[in-house]
Structure formats: structure tokens, C-alpha cells
Chains A and B, each alone.
Chain A
């Protein structure tokens, strides 16, 4: 019984592959169209995910800069260090002397000329802190406390841009969701139409099969296989498009990151994400086929 069932399904799968390859150009074109449609939201998703992970550490650990007053003794510096080490809210800190800050500034392209004309170093000594404060309230408290230290000129958050990025990413995620929904509908529509054309060419066979005792699931099976397979292959196409896109983009990014002295390149889609995409695209293909077969079977139902 089970063996019969398996051979039945294997037969249908084989038949589906055959019909897919019997019109290679048509199949390939619809797979590419559906693949491109699918790669669009997925591509934006992967770029965003990369930006997010690049900004990730900064988001996890809010950064603060302590600008020190101009004339401080080494003892003052030692006091600050001691206090920072004792504060449980501060995960790590880094001291940047005014000389080091000036040197960094001179190293950055475009600033050399300006710094030559300075009579003295205008930059203050700075401590850069990573805090583990999670809410903006606790950050504010910390800032307030440190502002009262006698050696401190000014405390500045470096996390404003991160909050803005956060908001932008949120907006981005929303747009991806919208895009994904509409393109999913488009893919279902493409599948619906593909199956509709197939049903029209096989209307005779369907009608006769029904007249001699075929169940609806028997009639549906090859079309559902076709939809699922084509959806799956579109997912594969989308993965290939995205991999190609990321490779090319990384080549371009090499130049850009060299100029900005940062190490950043796009990561490929993770295995989990790739599998989800394949499963999702197969489901889309199946749904399109299912809706199409249901509506057309109803039309040719003898009443």
C-alpha cells in the first residue's frame, strides 16, 4: 500500500520534471522572473542585516566620550582612571591623549593642511567609555554623575547616531515586509497563471480522468508538484542572484573601505536564511498552484 503510494508520487514527480524540461525556455524564464522577484526583498534584507551587525557592537554597548579640562596633572588622570575602573556601569575605557588625537586627525586625509596652521593643539585629552547601561535614562544618570567630576569639561554621548540608525533599520524592516508581501502575491499570481495555461492544455485529460473516477487530489497532484518544484527552483535562482550580487558588491566595497580605513564586507545569506527562503518559495509555488487548480477544477466540475 505504502509502496504503491510512493511509486505513485515518484511517478508524478518524474512526470513533473519531464514537463518542466519539455518547455525549457518557458520554465527557465518563469523561474528567473520569480527568482528576481524573490531576490529583491531578500537582497535588501541581507544588506540590512549586515549593516545591523556592523553597528551591532555599538548598539549593544553605548559609547560615551569624556572630554577633560585642559591642564590636568598625571595625578588627576590617575584619579579618573581609578574611578572609571571602580564604576560597575563601565565595561571598558580607552585613554586618548591630546597628542594622539591630533596625530589621528593629521593621519586622516584632508585634515593635514588644516592642522599645520594651528598654533597649538586645540584637542582635549579624552576618555572613550563603553557602558553597559541599557536604557537612555540610566545613560543620562551616568552622564549627570560624571559631569560633576572636577576634571571633566564635557560628557558626550556618541549613541545618538545609533538611535537614528535603529529607527532607520526599523523603517527598512517595515519596507522589506511590505515588499515581501506584495512580491509574494505577485509570485502566487505568476504561478496561478502558469498552472491555468497548463490546465487549459490538459483540460481534455482532466475531464476524462474525472469521468472515469479520478479524485480531485489525483488531478491536483501533478499541478501541485509542478508549482512546488518551480517555486523551489525560483528560490534557488534567487539565492544565486543574491550570492552574485554580494560578491560583486564586496569587490566594489574594497575600494570604499580602504578610503575610510574600516574593515567591512557583506556576509552571505546564512544557511538558516537560505533554507527558509527555499521552503518559503516552494510554499508560494504550491499556494499559487493550489488556488489555480481549485478554481479551474470547480469550473469543469459536471453539475
Chain B
């Protein structure tokens, strides 16, 4: 479903974030991406959503070459993907409900569908009772769950999470991991980056290790 071929990413200042990556992710797979900070995990995830463009190589998602996507086609690619950002990227001027509603507003869903889907997403992450709360009043773990709700509300095929357990204690982190597992069980392709090795000890899923921009076998 997601295929990287000879993908490199070199920034304008000459820094090479990714070096000749070859990668093949099947539809419905759950995959972990690990490595030190600065190893290129975030860059690799951002390339999938065309938030960054590769310097060379091809990235194919469902048969579509992302590297050559026109600017006007990018929004429609991003609508197939749920992205959980490392820095959350929540909107602090609106309540929980309206934060989750944003992707549906963007995709022109009508009011009725919107509220039912937003409530369904909030229910899945356990924030249904806080729909009127402002994000600033949420705990770190709740903010993380809000991000997840926003990423799944439009029912994407691909869910990408960049360090979703970064600042959370272990119990919270495990809870969030089990959420991802349940999304994967209904057929969503899930990619999670983490530098927290303890979460990966008992996993059955594939683990990719990035080291200085290269994939270790």
C-alpha cells in the first residue's frame, strides 16, 4: 500500500535526514518506527502525507506517486490519512467538539453527519463527556486522545502517529497503544514512531529501526 523506493531527503542546508530508503508497507499492517531522535522518523512520516517532499526517489500510496503530486492534489491525499502530530497542533480557541469537527468541515460533511461522527470519535477515545471543554483545560493524556479523535474522525485508511506517547507515563502510553491496536483490527494501516523501546518489548508487529537516515535491517 505504501512503497518507498530509493527515497532520500536532503534539506536546503545540506543536512541529510533520509538516505536511500526502501520500504514496503501492506494495507492493514501495523508498523513501528524507532530510532534516536534526529534519526529521521518524523521526516519519513511527513513524506507520506506530503508535508515534506522527497529530494529523490518515489513514494507510492495506493498506486499514486506522492513525489510527483500536484500541489492542488495534496489536500485529497491528506484526507485519506489521519495524522497525529508530535506537537499536537490543537486549536486552543475552540472546544474539544469543534477541534474534532475540523477535518469533517474541511471535507464538506453536513451538520448532522458531522456531529454524529465527532461524537463517535470522541467516544472511542473516551472524551465524550468533555466535548464542550477547551483544550487548555485538558491533561496531557487527554490532549493526546483529542489528537487521536481528530485523526480518526474522517475514517482514514492510514493512521500515522508521530511520538504519540512522548510525554505520557507508562500506563497512559499503554492505554493509547491499545487504542491503535483496536483501530488496526478494523483494517486501518497504522504507523507509529516512538523512541520509547519499552513499548515495543512485547509487540507482535514489525519494527523498523532508523539510524542516521538509514533503515537498519
Residues of A within 8 A of B (CB): 3-5, 7-8, 204-205, 207-216, 218, 301-303
A209 to B49, CA, bound (A): 13
A4 to B113, CA, bound (A): 11
Q: Are B91 and A205 in contact (CB under 8 A)?
A: yes
Contacts A204-B91, A205-B93, A218-B106 known; list 17 others, CB within 8 Å.
Answer: A3-B110, A8-B108, A208-B89, A208-B91, A210-B75, A211-B49, A211-B51, A211-B85, A212-B103, A212-B106, A214-B75, A215-B72, A215-B106, A216-B72, A218-B75, A301-B71, A302-B52
Q: Are A211 and B83 in contact (CB under 8 A)?
A: yes
A-B contact pairs, 19 of them (CB 8 A): A4-B108, A5-B108, A7-B111, A208-B102, A211-B51, A211-B78, A211-B85, A212-B78, A212-B83, A213-B76, A213-B78, A213-B103, A213-B106, A214-B106, A215-B72, A215-B106, A216-B72, A302-B52, A303-B53
> Given the complex, which residues of A lie within 8 Å of B52, measured CB to CB?
302
CB-based nearest A residue for B94: A205
A48 to B150, CA, bound (A): 61
B79 contacts chain A at the CB level, 8 A cutoff: yes
B107 contacts chain A at the CB level, 8 A cutoff: yes
Residues of B within 8 A of A (CB): 49, 51-53, 71-72, 75-79, 83, 85, 89, 91, 93, 102-103, 106-111, 150
> Given the complex, which residues of A lie within 8 Å of B76, measured CB to CB?
213
A208 to B85, CA, bound (A): 10
Given the known A-B contacts A4-B110, A302-B51, are A215 and B75 also in contact in the complex, defined by CB atoms under 8 Å? yes
> Given the complex, which residues of A lie within 8 Å of B109, measured CB to CB?
4
A43 to B107, CA, bound (A): 46
> Given the complex, which residues of B lie within 8 Å of A5, measured CB to CB?
108
CB-based nearest B residue for A208: B89
Q: Are B51 and A212 in contact (CB under 8 A)?
A: no
- Cβ distance B163 to chain A, nearest Cβ, rounded Å: 16
CB-based nearest A residue for B46: A302
A207 to B111, CA, bound (A): 23
A302 to B51, CA, bound (A): 6
> Given the complex, which residues of B lie within 8 Å of A3, measured CB to CB?
110
A209 to B107, CA, bound (A): 11
A208 to B75, CA, bound (A): 12
> Given the complex, which residues of A lie within 8 Å of B78, measured CB to CB?
211-213
> Given the complex, which residues of A lie within 8 Å of B49, measured CB to CB?
211
> Given the complex, which residues of B lie within 8 Å of A302, measured CB to CB?
51-52
A209 to B51, CA, bound (A): 12
> Given the complex, which residues of B lie within 8 Å of A204, measured CB to CB?
91
Given the known A-B contacts A211-B85, A212-B83, are A7 and B110 also in contact in the complex, defined by CB atoms under 8 Å? yes
CB-based nearest B residue for A209: B106
> Given the complex, which residues of A lie within 8 Å of B85, measured CB to CB?
211
A213 to B74, CA, bound (A): 7
A204 to B91, CA, bound (A): 7
> Given the complex, which residues of B lie within 8 Å of A301, measured CB to CB?
71
CB-based nearest B residue for A215: B75
In order of increasing CB-CB distance, the 7 nearest A-B pairs are A213-B78, A213-B79, A214-B106, A215-B75, A213-B75, A208-B89, A212-B103
A204 to B51, CA, bound (A): 15
